[in-house]
Amino acid sequence: MRRSIALILAAAVLMAVLATPAVAGTDPLQLLQQLIDEGKKETDGLGGQADSTFLSVLVPDAEEVALDVDLEEGLSHQERLTAYIARLEGALRANPTDFESIVKKGFAHQMLERHDMARDAFERAIQLQPSALPVYGALAQSVSMMDPGIKVYANGRLVEFDVQPAVVNGRTLVPFRAVAETLGGKVEFDAATYTAIVTLGGNRVEVTRDSSIARVNGMEHALAVPATIINGRFLLPLRFVGESVGEQVEYHPGLGAGNAVISIFDK
């Protein structure tokens, strides 16, 4: 249902643009392309630009929650938020997978600066809807306040690293095995050639230490930064790790330099 609504809204935007009288020298389709271009996010730190896609769900935002909270009268702002959260918790007892209520609860906790509770709510939401991009942005804000650094979520699940991601020459590198296995892939290592091999979803990816070339299903692909081994773990550019096995990769900046949430999910 939500996907249908999103597609209807997209069609409405298209019809509105086509129906708008063209500005001198401007084609209506060019106006539509400008709108699409403006919606694209730069993700240079991941090594590329993200694709522009329509969300499969409609996601509440902080402004919507603030308007809901302000409907209460005769209470302080904190009391209104507390009462609002209590109502959401009641709704969630009846339907624990109510995505909208979970997201709204996260924003309400964030407004109260309860960032641990906000993080828990947003993490629950992305487990239900891994492609809900705005939730990752909100999650990045609360995570920055509690546990600074780079956090990676694969299909809504936090990837646990025994070697932390690193930034090399402006590229975010992550341990290959941890991400691949969280996505459900099988990882092998050839000690004789220092080559890691991952198979996932019909894809086979091979990378060799210190090499700027990786092989994906037998085809060579250039790496922006060579495969690096740190403390016994292969680190590769994150965008390559995700997209080489058919996943979508998005970057969500947190508060302050060096803080971010990165999402990887099925296209």
Residue-wise pLDDT tens digits, 114-129: 999 999 999 999 999 9
Q: CATH code for 166-248?
A: 3.30.457.10
| CATH 3.30.457.10 domain range(s) in the chain | 166-248
- Using a pLDDT cut of 90, give the percent of the chain over it: 37
Q: What is the mean pLDDT of the chain?
A: 80
Amino acid type, 84: Y
pLDDT higher for 95 or 209? 95
Rama region for 7: left / alpha / beta (φ>0; ψ in -120 to 50; rest): alpha
pTM of the model: 0.74
pLDDT tens-place string over residues 60-92:
888 999 888 887 677 888 999 999 999 999 999
| Phi then psi dihedrals of residue 34, to 5 deg | -65, -40
Summarize pLDDT for 168-209 with one digit per residue, the tens: 888 888 888 888 888 888 989 898 998 989 898 888 999 998
Beta bridge partners of 65: none
3-state secondary structure of 189: strand
Closest by alpha carbon to 262, among 33, 64, 254? 254
Q: Provide the edge-to-edge strand list for the sheet that holds 228-230.
A: 166-168, 171-175, 233-237, 228-230
Mean local confidence (pLDDT), 159-166: 87
